[in-house]
Structure 1
């Protein structure tokens, strides 16, 4: 299940569509469609956007700016005249200006929320919402500081987020990547935050040297050093953004060796030179890059909170500069929160022997300043802030959230004279005294087409590296298009194609998993019709990532779907697609992306559900549906899975459920079940009397019944199930919310 399903296969998809005949009469059809699942993703017939030639007409450059007062509080109410923008030292006219203050109460949802457990992208989020990334550098986090990070995360999640906010929560180790909407996603992220662990093995060890020492030894001491006029070896000139220092007495290599033998401060490992810390830095930068990729295209200011002990500003790590550039292009500000807080002592100090106080002081300065230079520069270059020297990490994170809700969008036309890849230095100032502006410091004029091409090249490169590994399958998997990969990783529910999704959990499978069917419905009104009225058809790409919250396991499905309706008419209604997964018990999140290969538009939705433990008396997810289908082998009708809990108040509503874990003394059933449909006030409007559930020929305990809906008023209802095993006395109850529309007037 963990591998993509690439083999060409044929499966049956049920379409519940309404077709309009040439005479205008509506005819409801239930059609069984044979759908061919292809192995590859292509761009279809979409024409790639043309790359504009520079210096032709260029779109406005948009810069988002945050303004704070002397106390660090965000400042609202400024106007265009309060700002000045310059590029390469030359003033620029501000062509567009927008001010945002999202601190007020969120607006009510414009579309009523559908009853759980249905997920949909049709609902519109509140207008006053923000996008955040919480990225924990657990690779570089000392285990002793994990509790501080967990407390800071819990405070930000409780106080720093508001209804409607979109969030990515991730760790640099790759153990966690979870998207959420507030407030419904807060509980899951709190559970993930509570399990954050530090993975750095060097913290508090008496046999460790600092990353800064290792970096300087490998990068500079190996090439020799000059002795300055003070008698101290002068370190080579620092790289841009890197602090400089002189080591008293000897070169750094000798300093570490002396410490090794004299045990003045700490005892390094064998050998005493552990090598460069680039892999840890690279994992963090790559995680930042993935978050930036996921949020590119989302309008407004996006804030990435990086909880880290910092990383070196290593010039060999060229990807850091590239990521900073992509942050600037996407208007994503990085806030680096130094989780070390107020460093009062050197964690690696050894009490054996008299300490060299001068060396201890220098090492502490290096540990606090030099080892964090990379994260500080990354924050400042993207218009964010490096927050250091405070033990109130949680409060600082909350203030970042408040600051990110008050910002200004300034637009201006880039002046001619430079090529699209040349660096342009940018400066935003505010004319009122006592105020500070945070904005990105520059940019390059890459076009949208160039950015898209670069994204797809990076995705293809990553797929090629995975395909060349020894563990890779014999047939390399083609990469997803960039827009689908971006939607799959991000929290935003794109609504160009309306979607609904719902999970049904059934019987136990080997490996202590349960068979789970994810039903996805696609609004055909948003799809291209490549066959016209005589034979409607379309071509779709489907991508699903099913993530288990508690284990981190991910199961994926990537498929091409060719839909051929096989009949005349202009298609309307919803196309239903079912996919099966074997999942362990726990909280699960399914990210679903559907892309129209001809139009290039896509829809995205996230379905959250719980897989129950396969123990004791248990009831499957009830199937509520207005439709059935009859197998060809003459068996009784079966329910059609739908991804909705909203139905017309007419005809029949079918209810199907199965009971597991029941005792069967003497091979006879001891199960009884009662079903009721209740209105909002609790009044029972339909009832199926309590009666026994007899086993089928294959020994299953299934109840299949129906309720007439005619005459019921429009509104919210609840279907209540009660199942009792008389042999053991166990009772299981379930309540399924649903809504009826178009019914009789309420009494």
Structure 2
């Protein structure tokens, strides 16, 4: 699928073509500080750092110490234990939120299948799975491949699509040039090798440029690759390469290639730290030689030297990507899983400094950066310099003019913003032709908007936008909510949330639903990005509309009238309710396929409640009325309809005596 989060891949220039440059007015650097035992050093302040550009001290304009609280970001909804058995029920995903956007770690993963040998496929998959399995619900991930446009499409917290990409990943690396010639009696792969190298550079550059809009945190790019000899490091080796036109040949210093310079420039602008990880570990090319030995003439000493040189060049290309971007090379280890652990550690404890250069950057100028810490016995790791990006800024997302400038800013970013905490859930309720109508429940944290204003008026702008697989924005809708709550209503609002319920029509395919809210009279604004996959099958299990009688008191300025047939109470994103509450649960169901039923299951497997469904006239849906009289703690609402069996985590809190 097209990569919605990335700018278009830059057109491939000839190796001697000029690069597009942009002015650099602010330089951001992420810094790792470790003690003599290699452990992160925390508690440093801005005045503990010195920043030098070209040897000249710079004034630090912003300083952000980042420490990710390991396993400390508990989401505000209960989590059920795993279900065992041949056909476990589908668990309804938790509502999306931006509650922990400031604590989110940001990762990009490039699956460089063009430079991973097919025999190392499973090692690469294991390392990629390790990364995904250790991410927390708040972490954001983008995955791309080099051989195609396959991508997760967005920086996302939904890691299921990334896992599917990893499971289908297969290495496609060509044999080293000398060994290819020994096996096939020719050496006509130069153009193909250059094409593979260019594709890798394009992915590195595009991902880095996509990340440049994000500030205030370390941006980690994990490159699963065995490297390419065309980007053979910043040594003084000279390599002969075909030109991009595929005709003449040129001699070029391996560290001065235009493609690699553009990658490093983009990584510097994006403040991206690259962690290349080699699935081949410390193995030498001897294993590859086994494939060709005995098929043709024996490998001569000179040919073996060429093979070793090409392998060294491939590793040096990847090592230099790490060194020059402030990342860590994981090319020389037989423990790729341990390498992933290092990636996560570095992303969890670091500092982000920013300064403003005193003079403008000239075209193709490179400026060195040195970071010092005024503390003995520590090791500092940061990128060594920067130049202007070799590509223009990413064109802004084309958003309908019906949305105001403030909402456009919140809805057009790469990542959501957390200035106003919001929870969002999208549930399909109807199928009309090819399109599916989604009920979109939006709840804004009342502790932020429930503080009484001086004039007693609460005014909020809310906006909804969808982005499809082609990167096209649609469904841009704005609502202005103006309320004059009574004293009692202010109290309720401050203790709960402000709710609105939208209806959005989506065609089959993969979409990102974006929701934003902006409080008038203040700078508080927030946004949530939620991924939705709408299949072509009109019958698909995707969730329930859940309404709570207790939470019916939550202020709800508007509910789209198209949803009135499916719910008599305003649905909620909540997963925790007081004991004694009554839930109204609406689920899609085809009555011709038999009855539907539901039960509330306790953690020990016992059933606290079980009951039949009530048909909703004029719809293919049923309703369950679920009393929460007996269950306490985390229970599971298990609903069986014509779409299968699904379960919803339900937290039940007993009132204090």
TM-score by length of 1: 0.59
* 1:388 equivalenced with 2:322 (yes/no): no
Report matched runs for 1:67-466 at 5 Å.
67=33, 73-76=38-41, 85-90=51-56, 105-107=70-72, 109=74, 112-113=76-77, 117-121=93-97, 123-124=99-100, 130-158=105-133, 161=135, 164-172=138-146, 173-177=148-152, 189-200=162-173, 203-204=174-175, 209=177, 264=182, 266-268=184-186, 274=191, 277-278=194-195, 280-290=197-207, 292-294=209-211, 296-311=213-228, 312-313=230-231, 318=258, 320-341=260-281, 342-345=283-286, 346=288, 349=292, 351-409=294-352, 414=357, 416=358, 423-429=366-372, 436-443=379-386, 457-459=393-395
Residue aligning to 1:603: 526
* 1:496 equivalenced with 2:419 (yes/no): yes
State how far apart, in whole Å, the 1-side matches of 2:475 and 2:534 are. Answer: 25
State how far apart, in whole Å, the 1-side matches of 2:317 and 2:359 are. Answer: 31
Question: Any idea what SS the aligned residue of 1:274 has?
Answer: helix
CA, structure 1 residues 286+89, in 2 after alignment: closer, same or farther (shift >3 Å)?
same
State how far apart, in whole Å, the 1-side matches of 2:525 and 2:560 are. Answer: 34
Question: Any idea what SS the aligned residue of 1:194 has?
Answer: helix
State how far apart, in whole Å, the 2-side matches of 1:441 and 1:354 are. Answer: 46
The number of equivalent residue pairs is 566
* 1:577 equivalenced with 2:479 (yes/no): no
Which range is displaced more, 168-177 or 623-632?
Answer: 623-632
Question: Any idea what SS the aligned residue of 1:367 has?
Answer: helix
Deviation at 1:119, TM superposition (A): 1.7
Contact 1:74 1:403 in 2 (8 A): no
Unaligned runs of 5+ in 2: 5-22, 80-91, 232-253, 399-406, 450-454
Contact 2:108 2:142 in 1 (8 A): yes
Residue aligning to 1:65: 31
CA, structure 1 residues 485+170, in 2 after alignment: closer, same or farther (shift >3 Å)?
farther
CA, structure 1 residues 715+187, in 2 after alignment: closer, same or farther (shift >3 Å)?
same
Deviation at 1:140, TM superposition (A): 3.3
Residue aligning to 1:543: 465
State how far apart, in whole Å, the 2-side matches of 1:187 and 1:565 are. Answer: 36
TM-score by length of 2: 0.65
CA, structure 1 residues 583+199, in 2 after alignment: closer, same or farther (shift >3 Å)?
farther
Question: Any idea what SS the aligned residue of 1:76 has?
Answer: coil
State how far apart, in whole Å, the 2-side matches of 1:297 and 1:675 are. Answer: 44
Question: Any idea what SS the aligned residue of 2:589 has?
Answer: strand
Deviation at 1:651, TM superposition (A): 9.5
State how far apart, in whole Å, the 1-side matches of 2:107 and 2:503 are. Answer: 32
CA, structure 1 residues 496+578, in 2 after alignment: closer, same or farther (shift >3 Å)?
farther
Deviations 1:359-382 (A, max 9, x none): 322321332133455443332221
Question: Any idea what SS the aligned residue of 1:500 has?
Answer: strand
Contact 1:130 1:165 in 2 (8 A): yes
State how far apart, in whole Å, the 1-side matches of 2:67 and 2:542 are. Answer: 48
Question: Any idea what SS the aligned residue of 1:309 has?
Answer: coil
Contact 2:429 2:437 in 1 (8 A): yes
Contact 1:324 1:382 in 2 (8 A): yes
Residue aligning to 1:238: none
CA, structure 1 residues 85+198, in 2 after alignment: closer, same or farther (shift >3 Å)?
same
CA, structure 1 residues 188+746, in 2 after alignment: closer, same or farther (shift >3 Å)?
farther
Contact 1:119 1:606 in 2 (8 A): no
CA, structure 1 residues 593+420, in 2 after alignment: closer, same or farther (shift >3 Å)?
farther
Deviation at 1:277, TM superposition (A): 1.5
Contact 1:508 1:614 in 2 (8 A): no
Contact 2:410 2:417 in 1 (8 A): no
State how far apart, in whole Å, the 1-side matches of 2:603 and 2:182 are. Answer: 75
Deviations 1:116-154 (A, max 9, x none): 644242533795x64332221123333232112012223
Contact 1:156 1:395 in 2 (8 A): no
Q: What is the Cα-based RMSD across aligned positions, in Å?
A: 5.7
Contact 1:536 1:567 in 2 (8 A): yes
Residue aligning to 2:9: none
Residue aligning to 2:440: 519
Contact 2:513 2:532 in 1 (8 A): no
Deviations 1:362-420 (A, max 9, x none): 32133213345544333222111333243332322322333444434566675x46658
Deviation at 1:64, TM superposition (A): 3.1
Over alpha carbons, which structure has the higher Rg?
Answer: 1
State how far apart, in whole Å, the 2-side matches of 1:540 and 1:146 are. Answer: 46
Residue aligning to 1:644: 573
Contact 2:598 2:637 in 1 (8 A): yes
Question: Any idea what SS the aligned residue of 2:120 has?
Answer: helix
Contact 1:325 1:443 in 2 (8 A): yes
Question: Any idea what SS the aligned residue of 1:563 has?
Answer: strand
Question: Any idea what SS the aligned residue of 1:174 has?
Answer: coil
Deviations 1:618-669 (A, max 9, x none): 8973553667999999x97854663523698799754333422744xxxxxx
CA, structure 1 residues 283+695, in 2 after alignment: closer, same or farther (shift >3 Å)?
same
* 1:660 equivalenced with 2:590 (yes/no): yes
Question: Any idea what SS the aligned residue of 1:458 has?
Answer: coil
Deviations 1:661-710 (A, max 9, x none): 744xxxxxx63x5556789999999x78648x6796x7x6643465789x
State how far apart, in whole Å, the 2-side matches of 1:565 and 1:495 are. Answer: 20
State how far apart, in whole Å, the 1-side matches of 2:48 and 2:437 are. Answer: 57
Deviation at 1:441, TM superposition (A): 1.1
CA, structure 1 residues 601+714, in 2 after alignment: closer, same or farther (shift >3 Å)?
farther
Question: Any idea what SS the aligned residue of 1:175 has?
Answer: coil
Deviation at 1:343, TM superposition (A): 2.5
State how far apart, in whole Å, the 2-side matches of 1:662 and 1:429 are. Answer: 72
